[in-house]
Every structure is written in structure tokens, then in C-alpha cells.
């Protein structure tokens, strides 16, 4: 039985009624305005979309269905003896809005297990990719290779009623989430090892531990790190590039595989998900250039200025919405303080936390000088032996599927229309405002 489908189905009629009532009551109210500067400036802070699974506050950071990350850690089901949320529970929370019971999380794990076998054709596609192709490109090709399984595409072709689209969208979300860790692990093993891998133990292990095992990691602390990692990267409200791309592509009724592929293409950009790769590269470069010189705040300050003076961004710092230290950074820092306080690279990350905000503030351009999620994740992975920075964004992608697919199911449940904002030309703006 699909426990999660019933739990979700029970929520949909009330949510539809709620949206209808909100539209009737406030439909003509202004939610936000858009100035000419914002239209040229990436639509920053224009409130022009709804997104139900999570909400980002500029000061406090992300909340998943109203829960902060520490609240998720405290309230969601965990592995025996563990302290981090199980990824299955995060999906349940984001999708249904409720904290699941242990039994519900267990049932969802079984559901994923029943869908986890990769189609042979998809395996053949992945195995045909050059191992030096960027892992994010491989992941996207892998996701597209899963697409022929889409229940949504098949249902649309058959002509099902639009009120049932969400059911097929959920079906695809479950299949994609069930298969994504193995696709990702296969890419890791092929690109950085000999291609052999531990078979999936979906059903016995949770998504975090199973992914870790398939990549070749055995340490239970690494399993915990994977659970934390898959939790904190899952969702960051609707306007970020990956979430918005999934929403946008899905609004054309492209199926969830195609929609998620669009999101992954955006996540692969260095200003978004690829920043985690860039951070580790930069840390290693700094380590090398320091050589035997002692790591001091003064030395690091000079190296940060070098980045700015070269006309580049300091990876892992700044944010389009956040104006304080990212709580996703903070909980990774706490993990490091608990499990690896003496790690040399962690000490560098800590020292950068003391140095970079002052430099960026002195430079005077950024709206937020503080670290984001990507400033920290690499050193944690590296500590446990996952040293291949080129792979890091793939893990972000596996996690981002959890949030963006949960939201996509709601897009179809609420019957959101095709997205089509109006654009204007510079000439139109001049003509429009001339004489005003
Ligand atoms: N280093 C140097 N300059 C930076 C900077 C940084 N970390 N962050 C912002 N700036 C610059 C911008 O490039 C911009 O410069 P220009 O006016 O010359 O174009 C100026 O400061 C103002 O930018 P902002 O309004 O503060 O930031 P944006 O909303 O435009 O961009 C972000 C946000 C994240 C793209 C930007 O801070 C950045 O490039 N950071 C480094 C890359 C990074 O860590 N990305 C990961 C974000 C989290 C994620 O999605 O995974």
C-alpha cells in the first residue's frame, strides 16, 4: 500500500479549498511590485510565485513546512543510535506537511525499495558515458535515461483527467527518488574508481546509508553525514535556480524526469550548486599556496583579496535572499565540531568564517558577506575520504530531488498553470516612461 499517497491524497481537497479561498479573499491585492531595476536584476525579492514546501527567511534561514533545521533534527525519525533525520522522513514532511511516524518512514523506504531497480537501458546509457565527462552532466544524462518509465507522460498520452495528474506525478517522483541514489553512486564508482559497486540494499538501509554504501563508504558516521547532507540540501523555497527551473519546466506538463533534468542543469552552475566544488578547489589551492607558511588570519585575508582582485567571486559566501549566516552552514559546523574538531581543512573553513565577512564588507559590494551551505560541505565529505570535489554537486542534486519533486507534486495537485511572465524590451521601457 502506498502510505504516502493516501496521506497526501487526504490533504489535497482542503489545500485546494484553501487556495481558492485565499484567491477569492485577496486575489486583487498587491503581493509585491517590480521595478525596472528588479526586472534587469534577476527579479530579486519580487514576490511573484507561491511554493508550499518550504519558506526562506532572510535572517533566520530555511524552514521546511514551518520547521527550522534544528527542529527537523529533533522531531523527525532517525536511524537507531543516530542524531540526523532520515531522508525518507524529510520527503514525507515536505510532501504532506506532517512529521511522519517511524512506521510511515519505514513503509516509504519499502515503497522506494520496490521501485529501485534501474532499467537496463538506463544502466547502458550511464555506462556509455565518458568517465571524464563532468559528473553533473552524467547525472543529468542518467535522469533523462530514466524518463521512459514516466507514468505521467504515459497517462497524459492516454488522456487522463487533469484532476488526477498529481497521482502520476507522485508515482514518477517516487520512482525517480528510488533510483537516483544508485544512478549517482554508479557515476561516482565509474568516474573515480574501477566501476564496481556494492549492490543496492534499498529496503534494508535508509536512503542515506544505502547511497553511502553504494559509493563505497562503510563508516556509520559517514552515514550520518549523508543523512544530514540529504536533509539540508533538499529544499530552499521556490525562487532559487534549481527549484524554479523544476517548477517552470513542469508547468508545461513536462513529466517529473524532464522537469528535474531542467533543475539539475541549473544546479550545475558555479553561482548555484557547483559552488561546493569550487569551495573545495579553492581551499586546496590556498593550502598549497600557504605551503609551510603558518595559516594565520592575515595570510588568509590576503588570499581572499587575491580572489576579489582577480574579478572572481569568493565561493561559498553571499546569498540572494539570506542576510545572515546560513543555518545549513551552522549545522554542518556543529557536525564538524562534534566529529572532527581537529581536521586541518575544517580549521581553514573556521578561520575563513572569521576573515571573509570582514573582507567582503570592506569591499562593499555584497549584500550578504556571510557563508552559505556550500562553504562547508566539502571539508566534511573530504574528512571521510570523499575527496573528489568534481562529484560534490551530484550529491546536492540527489538531495534537491527530495524538495523539488515534493513541490512539483503539489503544483499538479493545485492545478498551477503554465508559467509565462511578460517580458518587455529596453525600448519598450523608454517609450513607456518617457514624459512621466
Ligand atoms: N564574492 C565576491 N563578490 C560577490 C560575492 C562573493 N561571494 N557575492 C556577491 N558578490 C558580488 C556580486 O557578484 C555582485 O557584483 P556586481 O555588482 O559586480 O555584479 C555584488 O556583489 C552584489 O551581489 P549580491 O546582491 O550581494 O548577490 P546576488 O544576489 O547577485 O548573488 C550569489 C548571490 C550567491 C550568486 C553570490 O553571492 C555569489 O556569487 N556567491 C558565490 C557563489 C556561491 O557561493 N554560490 C552558492 C549559493 C548557494 C547555492 O545556491 O548553492
Q: Which ligand 1 atom is the nearest neighbour of the CA of 42?
A: 30
Span 38-44, mean pLDDT? 96
Ligand 1 centroid distance, CA of 343 (Å): 28
pLDDT band at 121 (very low <50, low <70, confident <90, very high): very high
pLDDT, position 2? 56
Q: Rounded CA gap, 173 and 91, in Å? A: 10
Contact 405, 256 (CB under 8 A): yes
Q: Which residue, by CA, sits nearest to atom 45 of ligand 1?
A: 271
Indicate the domain borders of the chain: 275-383
pLDDT band at 99 (very low <50, low <70, confident <90, very high): very high
CA-wise closest residue to 209 among 169, 173, 181: 181
CA-wise closest residue to 200 among 209, 190, 210, 208: 210
Ligand 1 centroid distance, CA of 272 (Å): 10
Bridge-based pairing of strands 67-68 and 61-64 is: antiparallel
Span 118-138, mean pLDDT? 98
Q: Rounded CA gap, 378 and 349, in Å? A: 10
Span 418-423, mean pLDDT? 97
Active site residue 319: yes
pLDDT band at 436 (very low <50, low <70, confident <90, very high): confident
Sheet holding 67-68, edge to edge: 54-57, 61-64, 67-68
**For residue 12, is pLDDT > 60?**
yes
**For residue 40, is pLDDT > 70?**
yes
Contact 232, 217 (CB under 8 A): no
Q: Rounded CA gap, 341 and 351, in Å? A: 13
Among the listed residues 272, 326, 383, 411, the single catalytic one is: 272
Span 47-51, mean pLDDT? 96
Active site residue 432: no
| Domain at 275-383, CATH from 1.20.1440.120, 1.10.230.10, 2.30.130.30, 3.10.129.10 | 1.10.230.10
The CA–CA distances, whole Å, from 305 to 175, 354, 357, 378 equal 46, 14, 12, 22
Q: What is the pLDDT of residues 343-368, one digit of tens each?
A: 999 999 999 999 999 999 999 999 99
| CA Rg value for the chain | 22
Distance of CA 90 to the CA centre of its chain: 12
Q: Rounded CA gap, 173 and 405, in Å? A: 6
Q: Which residue, by CA, sits nearest to atom 12 of ligand 1?
A: 366
Which phi-psi region, left, alpha or beta, contains residue 392 (left: φ > 0; alpha: ψ -120 to 50)?
Answer: alpha
Active site residue 161: no
Ligand 1 centroid distance, CA of 229 (Å): 23
Q: Rounded CA gap, 309 and 76, in Å? A: 45
Q: What is the pLDDT of residues 137-184, one digit of tens each?
A: 999 999 999 999 999 999 999 999 999 999 999 999 999 999 999 999
**For residue 1, is pLDDT > 90?**
no
Amino acid at each position: 500500500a502506498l502510505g504516502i499517497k493516501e496521506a497526501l491524497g487526504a490533504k489535497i481537497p482542503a489545500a485546494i479549498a484553501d487556495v481558492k479561498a485565499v484567491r477569492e479573499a485577496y486575489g486583487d491585492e498587491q503581493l509585491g511590485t517590480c521595478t525596472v531595476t528588479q526586472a534587469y536584476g534577476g527579479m530579486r525579492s519580487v514576490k511573484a510565485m507561491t511554493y508550499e514546501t518550504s519558506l526562506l527567511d532572510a535572517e533566520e534561514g530555511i524552514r521546511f513546512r514551518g520547521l527550522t533545521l534544528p527542529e527537523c533534527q529533533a522531531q523527525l525519525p532517525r536511524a537507531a543510535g543516530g542524531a540526523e533525520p532520515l531522508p525518507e522522513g524529510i520527503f514525507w514532511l515536505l510532501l504532506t506537511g506532517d512529521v511522519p511516524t517511524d512506521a510511515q518512514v519505514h513503509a516509504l523506504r519499502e515503497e522506494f525499495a520496490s521501485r529501485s531497480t534501474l532499467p537496463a537501458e538506463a544502466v547502458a546509457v550511464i555506462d556509455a558515458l565518458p568517465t571524464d565527462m563532468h559528473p553533473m552532466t552524467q547525472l543529468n544524462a542518467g535522469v533523462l535515461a530514466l524518463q521512459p518509465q514516466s507514468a505521467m507522460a504515459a497517462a497524459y498520452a492516454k488522456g487522463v483527467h487533469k484532476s488526477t495528474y498529481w497521482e502520476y506525478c507522485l508515482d514518477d517522483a517516487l520512482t525517480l527518488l528510488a533510483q537516483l541514489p544508485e544512478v549517482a553512486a554508479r557515476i561516482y564508482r565509474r568516474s573515480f574508481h574501477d566501476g564496481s559497486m556494492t549492490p543496492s540494499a534499498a529496503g534494508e538501509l535508509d536512503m542515506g546509508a544505502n547511497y553511502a554504501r553504494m559509493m563505497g563508504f562503510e563508516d556509520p558516521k559517514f552515514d550520518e553525514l549523508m543523512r544530514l547532507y540529504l536533509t539540508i540540501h533538499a529544499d530552499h523555497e521556490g525562487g532559487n535556480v534549481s527549484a524554479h527551473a523544476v517548477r517552470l519546466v513542469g508547468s508545461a506538463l513536462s513529466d517529473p524526469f524532464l522537469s528535474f533534468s531542467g533543475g539539475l542543469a541549473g544546479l550545475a552552475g558555479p553561482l548555484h550548486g557547483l559552488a561546493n566544488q569550487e569551495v573545495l578547489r579553492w581551499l586546496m589551492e590556498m593550502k598549497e599556496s600557504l605551503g609551510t607558511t603558518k595559516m594565520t588570519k592575515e595570510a588568509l585575508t590576503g588570499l581572499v583579496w587575491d580572489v576579489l582582485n582577480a574579478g572572481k567571486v569568493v565561493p561559498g559566501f553571499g546569498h540572494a535572499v539570506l542576510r545572515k549566516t546560513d543555518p545549513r552552514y551552522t549545522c554542518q559546523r556543529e557536525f564538524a565540531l562534534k566529529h572532527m574538531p581537529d581536521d586541518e581543512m575544517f580549521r581553514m573553513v573556521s578561520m575563513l568564517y572569521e576573515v571573509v565577512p570582514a573582507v567582503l564588507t570592506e569591499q562593499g559590494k555584497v549584500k550578504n558577506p556571510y557563508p552559505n551551505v556550500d562553504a562547508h560541505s566539502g571539508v566534511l565529505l573530504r574528512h571521510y575520504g570523499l575527496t573528489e570535489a568534481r562529484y560534490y554537486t551530484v550529491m546536492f542534486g540527489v538531495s534537491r530531488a527530495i524538495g523539488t519533486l515534493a513541490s512539483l507534486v503539489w503544483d499538479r495537485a493545485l492545478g498551477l498553470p503554465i508559467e509565462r511572465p511578460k517580458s518587455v524590451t529596453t525600448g519598450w521601457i523608454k517609450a513607456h516612461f518617457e514624459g512621466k
